[in-house]
Chain A
């Protein structure tokens, strides 16, 4: 026990939500929120969209403003890094050498962009250019947006969500854009092929070039431009390179402190780590999901970051509830909205429902006709149906798969009353 109360390491979406929730659940002791960035907690989703597209550079979209933190008595430590956890004495050490003791600790350390291998396989020249951009922080977005000038040739490495949102934003700024993807199609992870091909077509009609199934064999710089070489002998010249090739959970502090790590900081269904007084939530943790037979997953999504932050606050105060929220994420590219609720790869069959001009829905079912995921693509009008599907997934109801294909069947009618 200590007078330092609750400490949260990581001041992103998860950490900020946890801090606010601890206070609203009635915790009256100290709350310390420690973040490495110089900014108060801010939202990351705009970084790949509005932040890159708008003519004037937007400010960070604050989640917890300094005055809100003061009002809620949340001690916000910006530009501050926790370097060690002494689990036995409930003490953390900060990079300035000072230490704080905790009653309960939350690790909300997030994830970092995966970096290109350097040197590339088969090459002995390290990639040392600062000009390979990654996108995770407000600072990353500021330096990338400066490159997105009309007519500039931008190469995006990686056909995942970050890469494609950057590609759409770069086109909106009038850049020439090529997306390089090592896999046979874009959005290999988590999205059915039918949706990926609609996204692909939308990008192509916007003028984005794709190089799929392309292995990069080398890169060089002439001082004026970059040259990317491919294993099939082709080459591509460009002005700016952005890599969006996945993220790696930030687990170093946890593993150095002896906490279990398994594709992220390993937590139980309450989000407790292998130390009962330390919790982890958001992109940094892997957790067993009760709706999917206890399958251990790790999510990198805004909603999960918010919901797990809120849930972890309850667990830190002793709540026993399991975290069972249906996974959900969205991506906006041009006028297209894409939403996925649940885990599509948990299904064995897919049922398509056309919403006409509004878009398309895909329901993913188990062999027993239980809905495990729903994906939608189209205009913003798909959101209602995906939200309803999310509630049906949570109810674990068994459905009539043929009826699901009929647009006149109201999803609301399938909700258990």
Chain B
């Protein structure tokens, strides 16, 4: 089923435990996370420091580490956690239904 304002992003099983995948929609790119506790989150896809895809980085606990400069964010809140990143990452509402993941990006 479709929801007003929500975009179908991926399936729950597309993401491994404690990992992240990239999701592109129109001109934009997002990162969708699955925590070690099987909770799902969504953020902007690019690091706020330089334009590198966070989905190529490593998920460690609640943190995502940028693959290029090792800046870190808490992907559950978007908070910047380690230099060189200092600007927070935008997060997006996400919901799961029957194994599907939807995000609201507006």
B83 contacts A380, CB within 8 Å? no
Set of chain A residues within 8 Å of B65, measured between Cβ atoms: 387
Determine whether A83 belongs to the interface, using a CB cutoff of 8 Å to chain B. Answer: no
Question: How many whole Å from B86's CB to the nearest CB in chain A?
Answer: 9
Interchain CB contact (< 8 A) of B58 among A20, A306, A388: A388
Alpha-carbon distance between A381 and B84 when the two chains are bound, in angstroms? 21
Question: In the complex where A63-B84, A306-B84 touch, is A330 in contact with B68 (Cβ < 8 A)?
Answer: yes
Set of chain A residues within 8 Å of B83, measured between Cβ atoms: 17, 20, 306, 310
Interchain CB contact (< 8 A) of A303 among B52, B53, B58, B70: B70
Set of chain A residues within 8 Å of B57, measured between Cβ atoms: 383-384, 387
Set of chain B residues within 8 Å of A310, measured between Cβ atoms: 83
Interchain CB contact (< 8 A) of A383 among B18, B50, B67, B84: B67
Determine whether B79 belongs to the interface, using a CB cutoff of 8 Å to chain A. Answer: no
Set of chain B residues within 8 Å of A387, measured between Cβ atoms: 57-58, 65, 67
Question: How many whole Å from A15's CB to the nearest CB in chain B?
Answer: 14
A-B contact pairs, 7 of them (CB 8 A): A303-B69, A310-B83, A330-B68, A384-B57, A384-B58, A387-B58, A387-B65
Interchain CB contact (< 8 A) of A381 among B50, B52, B56, B70: B56
Set of chain B residues within 8 Å of A302, measured between Cβ atoms: 69
Q: Which 10 A-B pairs have the closest CB atoms?
A: A383-B67, A380-B56, A387-B58, A383-B56, A384-B58, A381-B56, A380-B67, A380-B53, A384-B56, A383-B57
Set of chain B residues within 8 Å of A412, measured between Cβ atoms: 18
Cβ proximity bits A376-400 to B, threshold 8 Å, 1 near / 0 not: 0000110110011000000000000
Question: How many whole Å from A36's CB to the nearest CB in chain B?
Answer: 22
Alpha-carbon distance between A29 and B83 when the two chains are bound, in angstroms? 23
Complex: chain A residue closest to B51, CB-CB: A50
Alpha-carbon distance between A61 and B84 when the two chains are bound, in angstroms? 12
Set of chain B residues within 8 Å of A330, measured between Cβ atoms: 68
Alpha-carbon distance between A293 and B92 when the two chains are bound, in angstroms? 47
B interface size (C-beta, 8 A): 14
Complex: chain B residue closest to A387, CB-CB: B58
Complex: chain B residue closest to A328, CB-CB: B70
Question: How many whole Å from B4's CB to the nearest CB in chain A?
Answer: 34
List CB contacts (< 8 Å) of A14-63 with chain B.
17, 20, 61, 63
Set of chain A residues within 8 Å of B68, measured between Cβ atoms: 330, 383
Alpha-carbon distance between A388 and B70 when the two chains are bound, in angstroms? 13
B52 contacts A380, CB within 8 Å? yes
Set of chain B residues within 8 Å of A63, measured between Cβ atoms: 84
Question: How many whole Å from A251's CB to the nearest CB in chain B?
Answer: 27
Set of chain A residues within 8 Å of B52, measured between Cβ atoms: 380
Known: A380-B56, A387-B67. 18 other contacts (CB 8 A): A17-B83, A302-B69, A303-B70, A306-B84, A310-B83, A330-B68, A380-B52, A381-B56, A383-B56, A383-B58, A383-B67, A384-B57, A384-B58, A384-B67, A387-B57, A387-B65, A388-B58, A412-B18
Set of chain B residues within 8 Å of A20, measured between Cβ atoms: 83
Cβ proximity bits A73-101 to B, threshold 8 Å, 1 near / 0 not: 00000000000000000000000000000
Set of chain A residues within 8 Å of B50, measured between Cβ atoms: 61
Alpha-carbon distance between A302 and B49 when the two chains are bound, in angstroms? 15
Alpha-carbon distance between A306 and B50 when the two chains are bound, in angstroms? 16
Question: How many whole Å from A62's CB to the nearest CB in chain B?
Answer: 11
Question: How many whole Å from A338's CB to the nearest CB in chain B?
Answer: 12
Cβ proximity bits B22-58 to A, threshold 8 Å, 1 near / 0 not: 0000000000000000000000000000101100111
Question: How many whole Å from A49's CB to the nearest CB in chain B?
Answer: 11
Alpha-carbon distance between A63 and B53 when the two chains are bound, in angstroms? 20
Set of chain A residues within 8 Å of B18, measured between Cβ atoms: 412
List CB contacts (< 8 Å) of A334-377 with chain B.
none
Alpha-carbon distance between A20 and B86 when the two chains are bound, in angstroms? 12
List CB contacts (< 8 Å) of B65-98 with chain A.
65, 67-70, 83-84
Question: How many whole Å from A277's CB to the nearest CB in chain B?
Answer: 26
With a 10 A CB-CB cut-off, give which of A303, A310, A412 has the most chain B CB atoms.
Answer: A412
Alpha-carbon distance between A275 and B15 when the two chains are bound, in angstroms? 53
Alpha-carbon distance between A380 and B45 when the two chains are bound, in angstroms? 14
Set of chain A residues within 8 Å of B84, measured between Cβ atoms: 63, 306
Set of chain A residues within 8 Å of B69, measured between Cβ atoms: 302-303
